[in-house]
């Protein structure tokens, strides 16, 4: 009961290392598990960032600002003006306008006239802020007569590409819209 006989070290069993195959499988298993966790994390954060930038793009508000008459021509009758379009970003994400292309047409029957366009690149749209975009208008006499008659359709089409940073991802989204009225 209290007396134990010491075992000489040469008789003590020495721990044997795990066989090489078993260690290799263990390393592969740990490596695969780590890769799955990292890939899941990256994919999850990307999807969250993608959704946040998409929501920010959808929330952009557009309104008309000032109108500046640049030229009134008498022969041939025409009007040149610049309409300031204000874009507001109510989201928490700073956006960069990569490109904005917009056109406005007046049509009546088979006649269709381009009366305005805008082409903007690389313009910031800060979170909870706004930016202004010039929209150049050129109304020729035929379009003015159609507009004066009251029987016309206005067609506005535009393409907007923005980038936004969410988490550590920079996401680019595009939106195309056509409206008639």
Whether pLDDT at 10 is above 80: no
User: Can you tell me the distance from the alpha carbon of 64 to that of 62, in angstroms, rounded to the nearest whole number?
Assistant: 7
pTM over 0.85: no
- Domains of the chain in start order, with CATH, are 56-180 (2.60.40)
Under the banding of pLDDT at 50, 70 and 90, the label for residue 130 is very high
pLDDT bin (cut points 50, 70, 90) of residue 143 is confident
Q: Is the pLDDT of residue 14 over 80?
A: no
State pLDDT tens for residues 85-121. 999 999 999 999 999 999 999 988 888 889 999 999 9
Q: Do 126 and 153 contact (CB within 8 A), yes or no?
A: no
**Band of residue 149 on the pLDDT scale cut at 50, 70, 90:** confident
Query: Above 80 in pLDDT, residue 6?
Result: no
Assess whether pLDDT exceeds 80 at residue 18: no
Cβ partners under 8 Å of residue 63, min gap 6: 85, 86, 88
């Amino acid at each position: 009961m209290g007396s134990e006989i010491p075992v000489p070290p040469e008789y003590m069993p020495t721990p044997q290392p795990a066989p090489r195959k078993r260690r290799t499988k263990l390393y592969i298993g740990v490596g695969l598990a780590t890769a799955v966790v990292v890939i899941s994390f990256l994919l999850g954060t990307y999807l969250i960032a993608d959704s946040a930038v998409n929501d920010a793009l959808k929330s952009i508000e557009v309104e008309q600002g000032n109108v500046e008459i640049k030229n009134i021509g008498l022969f041939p009758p025409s009007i040149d003006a610049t309409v300031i379009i204000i874009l507001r970003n109510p989201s928490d994400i700073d956006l960069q306008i990569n490109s904005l292309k917009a056109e406005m047409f007046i049509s009546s029957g088979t006649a269709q006239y381009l009366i305005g366009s805008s082409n903007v690149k690389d313009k910031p749209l800060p979170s909870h802020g706004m930016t202004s975009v010039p929209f150049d208008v050129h109304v020729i006499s035929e379009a003015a007569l159609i507009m004066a008659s009251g029987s016309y359709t206005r067609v506005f089409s535009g393409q907007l590409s923005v980038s936004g940073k969410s988490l550590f991802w920079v996401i680019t989204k595009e939106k195309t819209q056509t409206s008639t009225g």
